[in-house]
Structure 1
């Protein structure tokens, strides 16, 4: 099996196992789905952290309003009484004025916190450092794990406008957010190897050769971003070692001339 070290820019994202006889279409599709899935897990974990602290999300017309403004406009969060966390809650006002302040109890908070830790570990970019590959199945398992934890705490489901529920149903709207700049549109995805773009409708071996027992670096980007920078011929660690060796030889030469 060939192992692809997948990068975006200079950042290593994950390792992916495939074979050189695989169609480029399916490889590119998988790589983009895994990368976007990593981003989704990270977004959901961040929002669940807020859920554990400040409860469910307020309706859009109430977000950012203080208590006086809400009272003046006679607005009401009709979901506050419907979506009470298992075991009850304590009030912990959200300083960002996004969530209703109904914080789950300590036990339910631990359920969410422990699941966040486990899900993050499943898609962590540091997996690549330990030579562990990442699959689309693993990403989906991380998402299902998070969904299960939220269901334990909120068996009646979250409000339909809550970002977490929208992420789980793939109806999230990322327009105008920083997250939208990170996600790669599948129809605009590009994959590069050694300065060459890997096109659809080919086989990996058309670019990587027939050696199925190798590890190569490929780079993901999006149409319009231009070709990604080439990988350094030598690693930073090797460069430093070569400089140190050169310096030592110069010192040895100086000593021999004394």
Structure 2
């Protein structure tokens, strides 16, 4: 099996294990699904942390309004009384006005946050350093863990307008958000290797050869972004070591230039008549002055 190190720009994303006989069409489909899946997990985890603190989201017509505005407009959250967390809730106002403030009890908070941590670990970028590949099945399992935790805490389910539920049902609207810039549509995703785009009518072996026991870096690019930058000849650790050695050398040369001590000229090895004295046998001669 060949191991592919997937990057976006210079940032590592995950490792992917496949064979050189895989078609580029299939490879693109799997890679973009894992890439977007990791982003989805990140968004869900972020919202679930807010769910654990401030409860479900307000309906769109109430979202972001102050209490006085809600009262003045006579708006009502019709889900507030029906969407109740297991074990009850305590009020914890959402400072940004997105959620209704009905925070689950501590044990239910722990259920949500544990699922968040487990899901993050399952798709963490740290797996690259640990040489562990990521699969689409793992991404799906992580989303399943998050969905299960929400179901445990909210047996009646959270409101359909809550961003977490929309993420689970793939009806989320990311337009106008930073997240929309990160997600890549499958039809607009390209893979590049060694300055060459992997074309969909090819096999992976057309670019990597037939060696199944190799590890290669592939870069994800969105259509229209152009070719990604080349990989550095040295990795980050090697680059730091080279810079450190160069700095030490510069400091040593600087010290030698500033060192004006010429006492070494009195040393025996610095006497340019030393060889002549040895040949004439006039070394180590002591003179005694008579009285």
TM above 0.5, one fold?
yes
Q: How many angstroms apart in 1 are the aligned matches of 2:226 and 2:211?
A: 29
Gaps in structure 2 of 5+ consecutive residues: 257-269, 271-291
Q: Which runs of 4+ in 1 moved over 6 A?
A: 246-252
For residues 39-77 of structure 1, give each alpha carbon's deviation from its aligned partner in whole angstroms, at most 9, with x where no partner exists: 000000000001011111000010111111000000000
1:33 Cα deviation after fit: 0.5
What is the alpha-carbon distance in structure 2 between the residues aligned to residue 167 and residue 105 of structure 1? Answer: 24
Distance 1:202 1:122 in 2: 31
Q: CA deviation at 1:137?
A: 0.2
In the TM superposition, 1:73-222 aligns within 5 A as 73-222=73-222
- Structure 2 Cα separation of the partners of residues 242 and 111 of structure 1: 48
CA deviation after TM superposition for structure 1 residue 238, in Å: 2.1
Q: 2 CA distance for matches of 1:124 and 1:145?
A: 15
Give the superposition deviation at 1:240: 3.6
Separation (CA, whole Å) in 1 of partners of 2:247 and 2:55: 60
Q: TM-score, normalised by structure 2?
A: 0.84
Choose 1 or 2 for highest CA Rg. 2
Partner of 1:38: 38
Question: SS of the residue aligned with 2:197?
Answer: strand
Normalising by structure 1, report the TM-score.
0.94
Q: How many angstroms does 1:239 deviate by? A: 3.1
Superposed CA RMSD? 1.7
Q: Out of 198-207 and 233-242, give the one that drifted further.
A: 233-242
Displacement of 1:233 in angstroms is 1.7
Partners in 2 of 1:191 and 1:178 — Cα distance? 22
Report the 3-state secondary structure (helix = DSSP H, G, I; strand = E; otherwise coil) of the residue aligned with 2:114.
helix
Query: Which runs of no fewer than 5 residues in structure 1 stay unpaired?
Result: none
CA drift at 1:246: 6.3
Distance in 1 of aligned mates of 2:210 and 2:92: 60
Structure showing greater relative contact order (alpha-carbon pairs closer than 8 Å, 6 or more residues apart): 1
Number of residues of Structure 1 aligned to a counterpart in Structure 2:
254
- Give the C-alpha shift of residue 236 in structure 1: 2.8
Does the alignment pair 1:56 with 2:70?
no
Residues 186-243 of structure 1 deviation map (CA, whole Å, 9 limit, x = unaligned): 0100000001000102100001111110000000011011111010122232234345
Please name the residue that 2:68 is paired with.
68
- Over 3 Å counting, the alpha-carbon distance change for 1:210 and 1:103 in structure 2 is same
